[in-house]
Structure formats: structure tokens, C-alpha cells
């Protein structure tokens, strides 16, 4: 299994936004993509590896297959548009490791939601003893990321793969959100995975010091929270997007790791 972040699955046929380069530096401070010990791949989603990893946690509560399938059916039933597939809104690891087949990519902005390290993860990017942090969307502000279009003929199959990744525990709530281009014009609606404020993994309101500490120190079977942060910042930079929050956190996390 490759240690480099995988290139996005499927060709980009719209606005070229770049793909993750091969990881060449062993240290996050190098400023590029950072290798993880076990890359989250499409195969690991399909064979249940991720589900088994999470289920092995003490006290873990997963959605049943029926609950997950119902969530997907309800989301598809609420589609605002039909016929050309569906857009997904990527603001974190979907930017640099989507694991689904993508027909088209373009830069997109959503209003009313902001990128936030408000999701605690005791598996994957952390451990029960030292839970890591990954991104979710919280209400308020705006967020720029990438819209990924999945073709109509493979939509249900690909979203089923995605639901095995994002909807294992119910930590996220899928919403259809309007997608805006660089000029502020709406070009469609996309599925965005927002924080479930009632979920046990929601950790909104962490201080920046606690956020930096957890990002700098937490590590799990899929790599570290720091790697997730650095790879997301690098993925955004390849889109020509600078996120002041991620830039600030990346500098502080790199400094904290250098002192350790």
C-alpha cells in the first residue's frame, strides 16, 4: 500500500485544480504532502477495514447498515437537481483523497458554513487515549473548497462508498448546500458533511491552544492529525486557496512538534 496521499480518482474534465504530488519529505515541516502509515483507500472502504477499525474501539457506536442506507436514500430523495449526477463539497481530505470516481472538479464556495477542527477522532487520526481532530463544517461564515461531480450512472454506487467513509458513526449530517463559483454565481447544489452537534464526537469550542496540542500530538492507524492538517493546507494551496485558520494552525503545530 502506497504511503503517499493518493491522486484523486477519475479524470478532471472541468477547471484544472491540480492533484496531490508524491510525498517526498519525511517531515511535516517540509511544507508538502505528508505520507501516512496506512492510506485510506477505496479498497479499505469496500472491504470493511475502516468499519472494523472503528468498531474495535471501546464503547464505539456505529450506524447499522440499515441506518446508513436510509441516510443515503433520504439524502438522494432530497436532491435539488437530477440528471447530471451530483456534486460533493470537499473542504478537508476529500480535496486530496476523495476515494470516489469523479467526473468533474471545480473550485466552489459555500455560505453559512465554515471549516473547523470540531470533530474528535479516537480512531484513524488519533487514539482513545489521545483523540485527534479532523475537519467538519460548522454554522456561520463561509468556506472555499472543491466541488466534485459524480456522474449519474454511477451515483448510487459511489455515494454508497462515500457513506462508508463519512457516515460510519453519525458524526456528520449530510446537507445539500448551494455551490458558488469564484464570481459568486451559483452553479448547483452539493452534498456537504456538516458537524452533528448532538454527536459524541462533536468538540466545538475548543481553545486554539487545545486544538494545536491535539493536532500536534495525536496519531492513529491512518496517520496523525498533523498530517491531515498539512495535507489539507497543501491541497488548498494547489487550488490557489489560502485559509488563514489552517495557515496559522499549521505554523503553530509545526513549531510545537519542533520543540517536542
Known catalytic residues are 166
- Of 178, 170, 230, the C-alpha closest to 199 is 170
Cα–Cα distance, 28 to 49 (Å, whole number):
26
* 130 close to 224: Cβ distance less than 8 angstroms: no
* 230 close to 256: Cβ distance less than 8 angstroms: no
Integer CA distances (angstroms), 159 to 47, 71, 142, 174, 226, in order: 16, 11, 25, 12, 27
Cα–Cα distance, 133 to 48 (Å, whole number):
22
Cα–Cα distance, 107 to 17 (Å, whole number):
8
CB hemisphere CA count around 126 (13 angstroms)? 22
Amino acid at each position: 500500500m502506497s504511503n503517499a496521499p493518493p491522486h484523486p480518482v477519475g479524470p478532471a474534465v472541468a477547471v484544472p485544480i491540480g492533484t496531490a504530488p508524491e510525498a517526498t519529505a519525511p517531515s511535516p515541516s517540509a511544507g508538502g504532502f505528508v505520507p501516512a502509515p496506512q492510506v485510506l483507500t477505496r479498497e479499505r472502504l469496500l472491504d470493511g477495514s475502516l468499519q472494523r477499525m472503528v468498531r474495535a474501539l471501546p464503547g464505539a457506536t456505529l450506524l447499522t447498515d440499515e441506518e446508513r442506507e436510509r441516510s443515503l436514500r433520504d439524502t438522494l430523495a432530497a436532491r435539488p437537481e437530477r440528471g447530471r449526477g451530483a456534486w460533493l463539497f470537499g473542504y478537508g481530505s476529500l480535496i486530496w483523497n476523495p476515494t470516489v470516481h469523479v467526473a468533474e472538479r471545480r473550485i466552489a464556495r459555500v455560505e453559512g458554513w465554515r471549516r473547523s477542527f470540531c470533530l474528535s477522532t479516537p480512531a484513524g487520526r488519533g487514539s482513545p487515549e489521545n483523540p485527534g481532530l479532523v475537519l467538519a463544517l460548522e454554522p456561520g461564515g463561509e468556506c472555499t473548497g472543491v466541488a466534485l461531480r459524480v456522474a449519474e450512472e454511477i451515483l448510487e454506487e459511489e455515494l454508497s462508498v462515500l457513506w462508508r467513509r463519512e457516515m460510519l458513526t453519525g458524526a456528520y449530517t449530510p446537507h445539500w448546500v448551494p455551490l458558488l463559483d469564484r464570481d459568486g454565481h451559483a452553479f448547483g447544489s452539493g452534498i456537504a458533511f456538516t458537524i452533528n452537534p448532538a454527536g459524541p464526537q462533536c468538540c466545538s469550542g475548543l481553545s486554539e491552544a487545545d486544538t494545536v496540542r491535539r493536532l500536534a500530538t495525536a496519531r492513529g492507524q491512518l496517520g496523525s492529525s498533523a498530517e491531515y492538517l498539512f495535507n489539507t493546507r497543501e491541497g488548498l494551496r494547489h487550488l490557489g486557496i489560502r485559509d488563514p485558520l489552517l495557515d496559522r494552525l499549521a505554523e503553530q503545530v509545526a513549531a510545537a512538534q519542533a520543540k517536542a
